Structure 1
Amino acid sequence: MRNHDGVLHLSATDLAGHLSCAHLTALDAAVARGTREKPKYWDPLGDILRARGNQHEQAYLDHLQDAGYEIVQIGDIGLNRKAADETAAAMRDGAAIISQGVLLHERWGGRADILRRVDTPSELGPWSYEVIDTKLARQTSGASILQLCLYADLVARVQGVVPESVYVVVPWSDFEPQRYRTSDFFAYYRLVRQSLETSVANGNGAQTYPDPKLHCDICRWRHQCDARRRSDDHLCLVAGSTKLQIKELQRRGIETVEALAGMPLPLQWKPERGAVQTYERLREQARVQVAGRNSDEPVYEALQPEPGFGLARLPAPSAGDVFFDLEGDPFCGDGGLEYLFGWVTLNLQGEAHYTARWALSREEEKSAFEAFVDYINARWQQHPDMHVYHFGGYEPGALKRLMGRY
């Protein structure tokens, strides 16, 4: 987001950010207007992902060049008129591939990874261009599709027709682009674009709040937003609370964790959504958290076991139980690498024993995978009542991928 003579110019990044969080839009607009400072933060993982993204894009360009395509590189850094004019000239000249093309129209701008010439007539001549983006993610996100729709819209301003499709090239796909029909997504793109334009025009920073979002994990504003929520003692700080429950409590005049901790029990009102017991549980959770703030030691209260709930749903322990964890790098080599297999079992004396198998190559990964599967099969024969415990769905999914690979 950039300020030009009082008008905020917007990019594909702003569009994706607005889809993730309206408060992010308000904060970025304040920076563009000069009323806030841009946050400085260290993001080593982001730096690594950007470097790998550049490598993936270059690998695709090399693939196109090896296939005989001539590539026009728009070298100017930044979204400026000179680079946009160079891009438009290359399109009029019928370049087969345009790399890092800059597209501008009114307040909108973007830099497309790849513009590929296709045999669809346009105002340029008997050809036109479609947009290809290179992405590291295995699955294309809604934000990525919105960005591609913006590029397609900007391309249409140059050639007079909207590209029929947009494409994404992901790693380990033999550089085969995934196709998305523009018409399937364009109405939603226009809706989000209009929402962003309205948001920055109204300067609605005062009306937005840093509610927790999935985007917080990668957002440059996350520390500032977290500090705001803690300063406000916001209800989202209550462990296990949901957005619907927070809204219900706020309708009842309960705005803070401390206020919730002091709410009378039994509950004095009937929730519009959810059970009474849910809000009583949240109240008790808030009470324990507030007590912990004023203590030098962690405060906790153990729940009474209930049949069919919580840990009581686990199967009976077995001497053969295995506690398993995998560590992997999805961007290592061609297709990622599961580089550490670790599991804990109990020995004959009932003591925990940890086994680790490192895998820093394909051969070692295959060997570790085979060794673990053989170990589990042998242990299953010895202990038919055993179970393998793991964290979420990553481990089963990874083992299935390894089974397919080897």
Structure 2
Amino acid sequence: MQKLGDDSWVISASDLSVYAQCPWRLARVADEKLGKSVTVPKIDDPMMLLVARLGLEHEDRQLQLLKKNVGTVVEIDYRRGDSSDVALWRASITAAAEATRGALGSDAGAIFQGVFYQQQLPGTDLKVGFQGFADFLVKVNQSWEVWDTKLARRAKDTALVQLAAYVDQLHLLSIATSESVHLVLGDGTHSIHLATDHLEDYFTMREQVVALIEERSLDIGPLPWRDERYAACGTKGCPACSEQVAIHDDLFLIAGIKRTQRDKIMVAGFSTLRDFAQARRDEVRRHVTGISRDTLFGLHLQATLQLETRDNPENRPAWEVTSSSILHNIPAPSPGDVFFDFEGDPTYQEGEAAGGGPDGAPEDDEPVWFGIEYLFGLWGEGIGAPEVDPHFLPLWAESFEEEKRSLEYFCALMTARLEKFPDMHIYHYASYEKTRLTVMAKRHEIALACVERLKDGVLVDLYSTVMKGVKVGLPSYSLKALEALYFEPNTRSGIAGGGESVVAFSDYSQAVASDDQATAQRIKSSILNYNRIDCFSTQALRDWLLEAAKNPRV
């Protein structure tokens, strides 16, 4: 969304995507551009920067393929002008749009970074136009197809609406346009759709965004939080919402709450976490409708514990056992127990830009040749090398072939350990480890029997135990958050989360490629240390849960 120096506006397909995800965020952005003394915070996320870089690399691979397969590819050169200098800005984008139009009438086989510019949208008195930047326009049987590259593994509606917007621009230019649009997914496969299936969605969302700008332009003040005209997503990844949720002690702070549940609790008169937590249970039950009794009481207990934790920062987080039977179902400790954690890069792939495995695209819904588990972390008695760390065994993989060897070694090790300790279990936190073991076994066509055996009662997901057995007064139930129950402050240092680990692995790979061994070793050591703490933390959580079962707070 841009506001030019002459008070006109220009929107793009990305603005429609933001609106689809969080109308309140887009309204807040409009207020910022209208000079209403508000600023939408920027989230500094290294993972987003990595994804952006990988997206450009994915785009470049498709460009090279098109140059190889279709002959002439016209690359549109667009240098954005300063939006405060309206004449210069319009001259710049108009020149690029005209160059695109000229290429569409040429013998070119494809156009890279085609530019569209519609100075005035129809059906409104607001001075608002549309700008679009198509990754690729590809000639097929004398008509043009819109292609866009996405790192995602599956097509998303917002991406298809974006393609429909570019199809509409081609129609306005009276260009022969294919009925099909292509999303070139992260594994190189093409997700093909009918453009007409999403044109109405595009027109509807465009009208809604224009109406939003009109309304915000007429409103002198900034949009207040909880304004019912624009729904807020309330997610942690939304910079506009995250700021306001904290400022207003919003119910979104309650771990696990859904937006519909939040709305029903607010209608009942409880607008903040503190209001809700301090209300009596019978009062909550009497006033809140549309939420089942058990669910409502669970949310109320969660809010109460979070408030207790917040009001007593010098203490460990507040907690209560909600199901003693769930905690008592945790297997008895065995000297053979293993605590397991993967580090994986979901963006990793090998081979040709077309993607897929060596034998082509995989069957089933899961594209198994996309993403690598670059570290199998194992913690347990005597599992590591005595001279290095007897409790920690890291299995490192920098390629699919090395990942295969890690899986083989892991399964052989676990099989031997089960023979020695038949009562052992492998503990992990959340479903990722179990899911990825299955994916890798299918990918490499090895260890299928071993993985099935581990899934049949050997693997124990502590996340399921926590979610069914206890309530903890924290806004998150991530393993890192729960460490406040049993770790001392500052136990962790260096890499702080899974996203940072993925970025670190990418940096490591680049250091290896440039033969910077010192940097590569430093980064690898930081990843290993991060994973080691994760594995140890999983054991510490298991032990804490066993103690909670003995001394429950109910």
Alignment pair present for 1:353 and 2:391: yes
Alignment pair present for 1:225 and 2:241: yes
SS at match of 2:286: coil
Pick aligned residue for 1:282 from 270, 289, 299 = 299
Pick aligned residue for 1:137 from 152, 156, 163 = 152
1:58-73 residue pairs with structure 2 within 5 A? 58-73=60-75
Pick aligned residue for 2:290 from 273, 277, 285 = 273
Say which is worse superposed, 9-18 or 29-38, in terms of deviation: 29-38
Contact 2:134 2:166 in 1 (8 A): yes
- The equivalent of 1:158 in structure 2 is 173
- The equivalent of 1:48 in structure 2 is 50
SS at match of 2:257: coil
Contact 1:8 1:29 in 2 (8 A): no
Deviations along 1:125-159, whole A, 9 cap, x unmatched? xx221101111111222221111111111122113
SS at match of 1:266: helix
Residues 160 and 69 (structure 1 numbering): CA distance in 2 closer, same or farther, change over 3 Å? Answer: closer
Alignment pair present for 1:366 and 2:404: yes
Pick aligned residue for 1:112 from 112, 115, 134 = 134
Q: Name the amino acid aligned to 2:315.
A: P
- The equivalent of 2:256 in structure 1 is 240
Say which is worse superposed, 291-300 or 62-71, in terms of deviation: 291-300
Pick aligned residue for 1:260 from 261, 276, 286 = 276
1:121-132 residue pairs with structure 2 within 5 A? 127-132=142-147
Pick aligned residue for 1:393 from 431, 436, 440 = 431
Kindly state the Cα deviation for residue 243 of structure 1 after the two structures are TM-superposed: 2.2
Kindly state the Cα deviation for residue 74 of structure 1 after the two structures are TM-superposed: 0.1
Contact 1:116 1:130 in 2 (8 A): yes
Contact 2:137 2:147 in 1 (8 A): yes
Deviations along 1:30-80, whole A, 9 cap, x unmatched? 233333446455333222222211111111111121225211000113371
Residues 303 and 291 (structure 1 numbering): CA distance in 2 closer, same or farther, change over 3 Å? Answer: closer
Say which is worse superposed, 278-287 or 97-106, in terms of deviation: 278-287
Contact 1:56 1:134 in 2 (8 A): yes
Residues 312 and 16 (structure 1 numbering): CA distance in 2 closer, same or farther, change over 3 Å? Answer: farther
Contact 2:27 2:230 in 1 (8 A): no
Contact 1:8 1:32 in 2 (8 A): no
Q: Which runs of 5+ in 2 are unaligned?
A: 81-91, 121-128, 351-369, 384-389, 445-554
Residues 368 and 28 (structure 1 numbering): CA distance in 2 closer, same or farther, change over 3 Å? Answer: same
Query: TM-score, normalized by length of structure 2?
Result: 0.64
Deviations along 1:192-225, whole A, 9 cap, x unmatched? 22222222222274435684445x42x4xx1x53
Contact 1:156 1:162 in 2 (8 A): yes
Q: Name the amino acid aligned to 1:400.
A: T
Contact 2:379 2:393 in 1 (8 A): yes
Residues 373 and 93 (structure 1 numbering): CA distance in 2 closer, same or farther, change over 3 Å? Answer: same
1:325-340 residue pairs with structure 2 within 5 A? 325-334=341-350, 335-340=370-375
SS at match of 1:6: coil
Q: Name the amino acid aligned to 1:116.
A: V
- The equivalent of 1:122 in structure 2 is none
Pick aligned residue for 2:114 from 86, 101, 107 = 101
Q: Name the amino acid aligned to 1:341.
A: F
Q: Name the amino acid aligned to 1:44.
A: P
Alignment pair present for 1:200 and 2:213: yes
Q: Name the amino acid aligned to 1:170.
A: L
Q: Distance in 2 between matches of 1:353 and 1:32?
A: 55
CA RMSD of aligned residues (A): 2.8
SS at match of 1:9: strand
Q: Name the amino acid aligned to 1:197.
A: V
Kindly state the Cα deviation for residue 96 of structure 1 after the two structures are TM-superposed: 1.0
The percentage of aligned residue pairs carrying the same residue is 30
Residues 253 and 68 (structure 1 numbering): CA distance in 2 closer, same or farther, change over 3 Å? Answer: closer
- The equivalent of 2:163 in structure 1 is 148
The answer to which structure, 1 or 2, has the higher relative contact order (CA under 8 A, 6+ apart) is 2
Alignment pair present for 1:403 and 2:425: no
Equivalenced residue count is: 389
Contact 2:345 2:374 in 1 (8 A): yes
